Structure 1
Amino acid sequence: MSGQVSIGRALGSTTRAGIYDHLRQVDDALTVRDVAATFDLHPNVARTHLGLLADAGLLSVGQRKHPGGGRPARIYRARADVDNNQVAIDSAVQPAGGAAAALMVRLLVDLLDSPGGAPLVARAHQAAREEGRQLITSSAGRTPHRRLTEASDRTVTALRAYAPEIRVSGSGVDWIEVDGLSDAVTLVERKDPVLAESIERGLLAGAFEAAGVPIELSATVGARQGRSWRLRASGARGPRSTVVAAASLDARGQSRDAGVVEAMRTITDLEPGDVLEVLAEGPGSPAVFARWADRAGHALIAVERAQDPGGRPAIRLLIEKARA
């Protein structure tokens, strides 16, 4: 069995290992939507996980025709010819995240050498920021970029040295969203989540500065495990000033399914291309609304932490109605 991705990397993610184990247990072929629903993931995230498992040679990929016609759905099945004892050995001796562990050691050395007057979180942020700068400046012959989207290709590619699954998971007129960097700080996250978040923030800030685009950062709630980051070029306006919602729905206090039903009713009265604002709560809410929007042909264009006029916290989702 020779895959394009090592088994260690494929099973280095807890979510991916769970998906593989689930496929082995059900002994059946599942679609992206099946897996997304079972693990509460956005379909695009589930598709990425399944693709890596297939590239490692752990899954076979086929097609299933729809009863009503249309494009066949891609299906995934655990390969029967895989020696799962060998899989366990390979995943143990080829652990993902060796570069991330080395990064943590370097940052620890920097923290020990740095003055002790500033709080640890601030010093960790600064050390990670310098690491991000060095990561970009070490790639010789590359000129600074002027636009956030242009800089993102370079920085995300460079940061994959520490977090192989980092990716741009969404974008808008003046923003991008980045998932997967949390894999670089797993060792710290278990002990001190605040410190881990500070390191992630520093890595992104330093990398984009070196690429020529200083950024503003905010941690957002995403479908994927770990933090998602909303990035904007410094001085760019946020979605509240660039997107005007045609209607608003407060789904807090309702079950997720009831909230989706209300959103379906509300968006029916809107014109194609209009934006519905939904205020939700709970870490799984974005994934639930994203699944509904994807199936209905609508577009989830923003997810962010917010507060209503009364100061009550919420997850703010902007959903653009499908265009005719």
Structure 2
Amino acid sequence: MSGPVSISRALGSTTRAGIYDHLRQIDGALTVRDVADTFDLHPNVARTHLGVLADAGLLTVGQRKHPGGGRPARVYRARPELDEHAALDGAAQPAGGAAAALMVRLLVTLLDRPGNPPLVTRAHDGAKEEGRRLVAALPGDPPPGRALGDAAQRAARALRTYAPDVKVSRAGSDWAEVTGLSPSVALVERLDPALAEALERGLLAGACEGSGVAADLTETSSGSRHGRVWRLTATGGRAPRSTIVAAATLDARGKSRDSGVVEAMRAITDLRPGDVLEVLAEGPGSPAAFARWADRAGHALVAVERAQDASGRPAIRLLIEKAA
């Protein structure tokens, strides 16, 4: 029998967070095979992810009888409600909390040296890139529209990897409010509130841009158990397209995800460190497949956007910077 699993650990995997969010959205029960097919996983891998989510108390486990008889299938369903205190406690207290707090303090001290760019600036920029990467790793493609509410929902979904309780609490035609992200920076908050605010702002800004919408962020309130409340206001357009000049282009449209990733591996081999490979992809899950490879290989996924080639054919454009 598996032991208890913290919510932060259970949702610390982008894939598990995506599975949990999918089950919450459909409000129904799925088998291991259903999840494996939806997320393009081996059934044993899907079973492991579902088991971790169940051990954390995020899913309930039941059985479904086969119409033709035989052994009932095990099914998984998201719990209708989650204890907010438990979720926040789990997100704010990583394993080895005291040791983690010490590591944060030491790293901040080492990084904040005279002559370096301001640490707050670097923290914001790094968090922004991470927010974009989290969105790129989500299953499915960004919606073609540019509604701020849709982008905020997708951003919140991606950020649940670090903060299980993040959500869009209110929304209008050109604005939305997001809360629940603060527990992800709780350890930094105790040491340097300004640095924590920069990290939180950067994560949300990057996730919104990765979802296809540029928005102004304003902190409207803080101090609740959910932490800061961010108000997102539409700036009147989509996130600006990247102006990076690619050193090489790979058209992976019409290929399977695995074949496209293999060709990208070969193409980037011939580039110099710091060069950018442009990949044109299509189909559900393609951005996530390339993001997983880039993350494992140490490359940086610097942009994901809708695009068209010279003939007007649509594509998902990914810019991948080769690791040093």
The TM-score range, normalised by the shorter chain, is 0.3 to 0.5
Normalising by the residue count of structure 2, what TM-score does the alignment of the two structures yield? 0.41
Normalising by the residue count of structure 1, what TM-score does the alignment of the two structures yield? 0.41
